[in-house]
């Protein structure tokens, strides 16, 4: 199949599903996407059609605006933010990694039958577990509960929050916004990471800690 034929089929099927829900399609560039921009969060679905024949249908990505406004303000070392236009490109708070685990989302596609199977699986994901992911984690207290579950299991917040070191920034922002009774303990935990081996991140972390002093909780758990 030609790349343009793959794109035409995928976009036609997703237009039927997503545009009635309020998603907008952004075609320009190497990573076309559908975004749903709500008052409190943005859902992003990013795609890629490779020259060698692979088709990538992206996991659901959530940008929680109250979190990412602070992340944009603080920023991170050695990063160019010119691409963040808050229209097509956002900073991402968390990603649903279940689709990547359960389905091979980057597949070599050569026939229409193969493409139909891939798109049907993807549409089913968006209408079932993907929809549940959005409903669950667009509500910050549920993000905090997941963070606490992971920590209790000896796992890391990066399994739910986006970014390398900056997932720790997001974790503290979520904790403060939720009026988390364990906020100070979480700060101590993150302190132990950034102060134990200081690097380029430390000035940004100290800036975040000052900013958190002025962040007012929006939930009271």
Q: What SS3 string covers 6-75? A: HHHHHHHHHHHHHHHHCCEEECCCCCCEEEEECCCEEEEEEEEECCCCEEEECCCEEEEHHHHHHHHHHC
Q: What is the pLDDT of residues 33-60, one digit of tens each?
A: 999 999 999 999 998 888 888 888 889 9
Residue 174's pLDDT band (cuts 50, 70, 90): very high
pTM equals: 0.91
Query: What is the SS3 assignment for 106?
Result: strand
Residue 81's pLDDT band (cuts 50, 70, 90): confident
Quick check: 178 and 215 in contact, CB under 8 A? no
Tell me which of 103 and 122 has the higher pLDDT. 122
Residue 29's pLDDT band (cuts 50, 70, 90): low
Confidence at residue 15, expressed as pLDDT on a 0 to 100 scale: 96
Q: What is the pLDDT of residues 109-168, one digit of tens each?
A: 889 999 999 999 999 999 999 999 999 999 999 999 999 999 999 999 999 999 989 999
Confidence at residue 97, expressed as pLDDT on a 0 to 100 scale: 82
Average pLDDT over the chain, rounded to an integer: 91
pLDDT at 98 over 60: yes
Mean pLDDT within 20-27: 94
Residues 187 and 103: their CA atoms lie apart, in Å, by 36
Confidence at residue 106, expressed as pLDDT on a 0 to 100 scale: 62
Bridge partners of 43? 36, 62
């Amino acid at each position: 199949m030609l790349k343009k034929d793959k794109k035409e089929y995928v976009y036609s099927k997703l237009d039927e599903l997503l545009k009635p829900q309020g998603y907008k399609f952004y075609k320009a560039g190497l990573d076309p996407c559908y975004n749903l921009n709500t008052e409190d969060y943005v859902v992003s679905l990013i795609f890629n059609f490779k020259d060698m024949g692979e088709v990538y249908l992206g996991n659901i990505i959530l940008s929680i605006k109250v979190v990412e406004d602070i992340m944009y303000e603080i920023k991170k070392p050695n990063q160019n933010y010119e691409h963040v236009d808050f229209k097509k490109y956002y900073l991402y708070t968390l990603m649903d990694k279940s689709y990547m685990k359960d389905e091979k989302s980057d597949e070599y596609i050569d026939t229409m039958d193969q493409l139909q199977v891939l798109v049907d699986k993807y549409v089913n994901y968006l209408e079932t577990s993907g929809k549940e992911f959005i409903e669950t984690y667009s509500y910050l207290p549920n993000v905090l509960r997941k963070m606490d579950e992971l920590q209790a299991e000896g796992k890391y917040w990066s399994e739910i929050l986006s970014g390398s070191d900056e997932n720790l920034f997001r974790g503290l922002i979520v904790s403060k916004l939720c009026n988390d009774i364990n906020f100070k303990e979480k700060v101590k935990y993150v302190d132990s990471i950034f102060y134990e081996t200081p690097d380029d991140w430390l000035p940004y972390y100290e800036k975040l800690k000052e900013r958190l002093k002025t962040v007012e909780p929006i939930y009271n758990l």
